[in-house]
Amino acid sequence: MSGLHLDDFVDLIERPDGGVRRDAEERRARFATPPGALGRLDELGEWLAAAQASVPVKPIERARVLLFAGDHGVAELDVSGRPAGTTKDLVRAALDGTSAVAILARRYGVGLRVLDLAVDCDPAELPEEVTRHRVRRGSGRIDVEDALSAEEVEQAFRAGMAIADEEADSGTDLVVLGDLSVGGTTAASTLVAALCGTDASVVTGRGGFGIDDLAWMRKCAAIRDALRRARPVLGDQLELLRTSGGADLAAITGFLLQSAVRHTPVILDGVVSAACALVAQRVAFRAPDWWLAGHASGEPAQAKALDRTALNPLLDHGVSVGEGTGALLALPMVQAAAALAAELPLRD
């Protein structure tokens, strides 16, 4: 159905340099600080060394927050804590600097980039640099129709790949990945349930803005119906994203895979990025070695996806707002690991 050959990623994606990681482990053993005293910071420092192919580790100096934005037709069923079609308000808050992730990015001195893949608004309402990768206005209602056409899913996937290349070429040394969406957790939970072979009730959470019991039941029913459409196409990841994902999710998946090709480390945020990571793992099994799970969001679908990708969250602070906020909170921990691995004195 497509000119994309996802099997190519299997050969293109290599694991972080194992020899460099062993060198980093040997260097760590020579620290004056006792082995194990820094807990997980040691592991992070060694992972960064392998990802950078550098001992000692280089400081994280050009991290960037990337937020992939899109509306989802399934939100029309009142399955979200926000009204359908209001992702543009989330985008505007991020651009205006008033959202939680924007405030933290400003405080940490980290650049923030918003990418509109399927926001349900006139593109003239948003800056051109935000909308230039847009695929369509909103994604289809996945419980009764496909999220995208064949051409749209390829366009979105290639957009994600192009964005990964743009970041790598500009010198970004670590990406904090998030999403801005209304209805996105419903689509993401459908992908996780389909790939893990579980029922809708197992993966249905309350979303980033919280929903009451009636909305939870509507969401569960929507995921159940979407699963009936997803299961027949499980063998084709692009077809799965077309049927049951959306333009933002397809782009995130392409971004994650191409970032692994380009050796760009990524911190994942909540259920949406975790679901895309699970799809990407099915494409190329080595890809998760380039990612960190920033935090546990409390969404059951995220927990299941991270378990399948063998990613252990760095933080668990009960942050459920999404939008990359939890992942960004993990950035100082990763930066601390890099600084300690590079600067702690060695024993004589």
Q: CATH 1.10.1610 in the chain, residues?
A: 8-58+339-343
The per-residue pLDDT for 129 is 97
* CATH topology (fold) of 63-332: Rossmann fold (3.40.50)
The per-residue pLDDT for 2 is 53
What pLDDT, in 10s, does the model give residues 126-158?
Answer: 999 999 999 999 999 999 999 999 999 999 999
| Domain 8-58+339-343: assigned CATH number | 1.10.1610
Residue 1 scores a pLDDT above 60: no
The per-residue pLDDT for 318 is 82
Catalytic entry in 125, 299, 323, 343: 323
Q: Average pLDDT of the chain?
A: 95
Confidence of residue 348 (pLDDT cuts 50, 70, 90): low
d(CA 155, CA 232): 23
Tokens of 124: 């003239």
What pLDDT, in 10s, does the model give residues 178-214?
Answer: 999 999 999 999 999 999 999 999 999 987 677 899 9
Mean pLDDT within 282-286: 97
User: CA–CA distance from 310 to each of 3, 51, 81, 114 (Å)?
Assistant: 31, 17, 30, 28
The answer to whether residue 323 is catalytic is yes
Q: CATH 3.40.50.10210 in the chain, residues?
A: 63-332
Residues 6+ apart with CB under 8 A from 158: 4, 254
Kindly state the percentage of the chain with pLDDT values over 70. Answer: 99
The per-residue pLDDT for 210 is 78
Backbone angles phi, psi at 309, to 5 degrees: -95, 0
d(CA 343, CA 348): 15
d(CA 344, CA 28): 9
Q: Which of 37, 205, 154, 176 is nearest to 109 (CA)?
A: 176
What pLDDT, in 10s, does the model give residues 226-279?
Answer: 999 999 999 999 999 999 999 999 999 999 999 999 999 999 999 999 999 999
Q: What is the CA radius of gyration of the chain?
A: 19
Mean pLDDT within 100-115: 97
